[in-house]
Structures are given as C-alpha cells and as structure tokens.
Structure 1
Amino acid sequence: TLRATLVAEVRRRLRASWLQRGAAEAELGWIDGVFDPDVLTVGFARRVPTYKRLTLMLRDPQRLRSMLLDPDRPVQRVVAGKSHPADEGGKALIQQVVRFADDPEVRHRIVFLPDYDMSMARYLYWGCDV
C-alpha cells in the first residue's frame, strides 16, 4: 500500500539521518518500530522560514505527546524540511522539532526528516492522510 511504502521510506531516511548524526547501527533497532501503517498520519513538509510556524505544534508539548500516544486514536507526524543556509531562525526551529522527536517516548510517532526534496515529497503526498 501507499502507507506501507511511506513507512518503509521514513524508516530508511530516519536510519540514514541517525547514522549521519553519529549513532551506531547497533543503537538503531528501535527504528524498525517507527510508524504504524494503520495510524492517522499527518505530514508537514516545506522550506522552514520562521514565518511558517513549524513549531506551532510544540506550543503545548504535553498535548502533542498525548495525541501521539493516545491508546485509542493515536496520530503520527512526519515533518520534513530544510532552511536556507543563512536562516538561523529557521535552523533553530528545526532544532526544536528534532529535540522533541528524539524523545524515546514519542520517537516512534513523530519524525523529522532532513533535506526535504521532490523525491521525498512523492512519498509524503501519497502516504499521508493530511
């Protein structure tokens, strides 16, 4: 299915991202449990200037956490993007999302995928519900 393809691509890119950040392959077994093809999937992918409010979802982190982990109606979010090399504000927003998504409690339900491009857009467009 399209969702299963998205889940596989998210896991592949997430593994590559963690390896690039210096993680050892032995530490990344948890990535095989990232995302569930049967859970509502919300995607956010674009350039990350400060005015696009990427971190609005983090305004109430406990509420976001409870939505991601709801036992009856969980949600998963895939966030993909990049900022202009000279946009320090955009880079700071991405760092906030990455810090939240790195939390072991929620990292199976929210991911940040760096270096958003058209090949990634195809997976997100067809595999996300929203």
Structure 2
Amino acid sequence: MWAHINDRCPIISITNAQNKHFWADHELEQANQQDDDHDLVTLKKEMKAELFEIVANQTGKIFRPDVLTIVWARRFASYKRADLVLRDKERFLKMVNNTKYPVQIIWAGKPYPMDYGSVNTFNEIITFNRGRANCATLVGYEIMLSRQLKRGSDVWLNTPRRPHEASGTSGMTAAMNGSVNVSINDGWIPEFARHGENAFVTPTADHTTMDIESIDNFDHENIMSVLENEVIPAYYDNPSKWVEIMKNSMRDVVPYFDSNRMADEYYQKLYNSEYDASKRIMVQPAAKEVGAS
C-alpha cells in the first residue's frame, strides 16, 4: 500500500480494546479472582435475570436464568450475518427446541436506515421469532442495553464473513462479563481465542477460492456443529468445564484487550515515535537532556 510514495512511514497495527472499568461487572470479576465458582455462577444467573426483565418488557416472553442463553447483538450489517444460524431453519429449531438441552437466543441491534439488506434481515428475524417462546429480538443497541446483553448472556455469538471484520470489540466486553465467545475466526478473535479453553472458534473458510454462497454454507455448518456438539453439551453435561471456560475468558481478555494497553501502544508506537527514513522504521526519539532547549 502507498508503494508509489517515497520515504513513506510503515503502516503498523494497534489492536482495538475496551474499557474494563466501565464494562466489567466488578462483583463477577472479584468472584473470578477469588476462584469462587459458586458466587460466579450465582452472580451470572442474577445478571441473566436482569436481562430477561428487558426481554419480558419488550417482547412479553419469559426467559429462564437456568437455560443456556445465546446472544447475537451488534450493529446490523450484511457482512456480520445475523441470520447465519437460520440458513437451515429446521436444524435451528431442532437445536432450540431440544427439551433435554434447552436454548434461548436473543438478537439485538440496529441496521442503518438506508442499508436495505440489513433492514430486511432484521425484519425477517423479528418475523421468524414471532410466537417462538425462546427466541427474542430486542430493538436497539444503546450502551446500557449493550451492557445488559453482555452481562446476561452465556454465549456471545459472532458470525462475520471473514475477512471483513476489522475488530469486533463487543466480544471483548462480553468476555469481561463471563460470556463465552463462539465465533468465526476473524477480527480480534485470532489474537485471543483458544478453542475449548476460553472460547469456541470455527474452522476457517478459504475466501480466496470459495464464492460467498459456499463460504456462508461452510460457516453455517461449522457454527451449528460447534454449538450442537461442543457448546451446549459442555454447558449442561460438564458445568465445571463451562465455568472454567468462563473464568479463562475473563482472565485472558485483560489486560491485553483493555483500553489502557491500547492507549499506551498508541502513545509509544505512534504518537511518541519518529520515522527513520533510512531504515524505514519507527523509532523512539532520543531523550533530551535536562535543561536542553
């Protein structure tokens, strides 16, 4: 990029981050630091109950705190594929209607008014969820609703069409609140996720050789397989493992994905650096002597 510009400075990367002090529930964080699994689980159920009050107020549906709750919530954009799990509706309904392993799912977000594809997707999801007791769509994604969704979810579902996701910071704040990321391997996820240990990540489609339809089919198959065969059984059949994944997620997301690190990197790598054209690298400026003008 910019190869035609002489003496250009390098393009460097600084990974995005979120403010833990604002987003993370401090009681939940304390329980995790103290390895108090009982308090961790109890607090999580209380946070779910708070979210479900919003679900009831907006939709009239009554969700249960003891049921695995999946949330897909963010800006509605076509590449984020809010409806990826609905590509095979029969399979999806079989998953969410399993009485042995019950599942609740919430969609929330806002499409841009002129993004007609995303508006249609949003409306189709609302229509699909109508009359389904364990599927809800919340209108809006304001900051306090976003916070409640991350606190009250067990799974934070992330389904962008790779490689279009630049970062995807909602998953960071979800992880800070014990919500386990289940994701396509894009955005910030490759820097964070350890499959089955602090998150669940699907195999990667080859976007250089596959067309969009093939990629979407590939990703749908893999996201459903991970949910059906790994996530749901872990939550119900191996609760101690699930709690360990929650704890790992909360511990691994900080400090690297906290905004303190990001701000420091911007200062050290970008604002407080100079470009050495002879070496084509960014270097720290030499410290000035005390009293030097």
Instruction: Give the TM-score normalised by the residue count of structure 1.
Output: 0.80
Matches within 5 A, 1:73-84: 73-84=101-112
Query: Which runs of 5 or more structure 1 residues have no equivalent in the other structure?
Result: 15-30
Shift of 1:34: 2.4
Q: Which amino acid aligns with 1:87?
A: D
- Counterpart of 1:90 in structure 2 is 118
**Greater relative contact order, per chain length (Cα 8 Å cut-off, separation 6+):** 1
Question: Following TM superposition, where does structure 1 have runs of at least 4 consecutive aligned residues deviating by more than 6 angstroms?
Answer: none
Matches within 5 A, 1:53-72: 53-72=81-100
Structure whose CA Rg is larger = 2
* 2:47 is the alignment partner of 1:2: yes
Q: Which amino acid aligns with 2:84?
A: L
Query: Deviations for 1:31-76, whole angstroms, at most 9, x for unmatched residues?
Result: 2x52111100011111111111111111011111111111100111
What is the rounded CA distance, in whole Å, between the counterparts of 1:46 and 1:101 in structure 2?
18
Q: Which amino acid aligns with 2:129?
A: A
Query: Deviations for 1:3-49, whole angstroms, at most 9, x for unmatched residues?
Result: 111111111122xxxxxxxxxxxxxxxx2x52111100011111111
Q: Secondary structure at the match of 2:114?
A: coil
- Counterpart of 2:147 in structure 1 is 122
- Counterpart of 1:52 in structure 2 is 80
* 2:66 is the alignment partner of 1:38: yes
Question: More helix per residue: 1 or 2?
Answer: 1
Shift of 1:90: 0.6
- Aligned residue pairs, count: 110
Q: Which amino acid aligns with 1:111?
A: A
Q: Over the residues paired in the alignment, what is the CA RMSD in angstroms? A: 1.1
Instruction: Give the TM-score normalised by the residue count of structure 2.
Output: 0.37
What is the rounded CA distance, in whole Å, between the counterparts of 1:63 and 1:38 in structure 2?
23
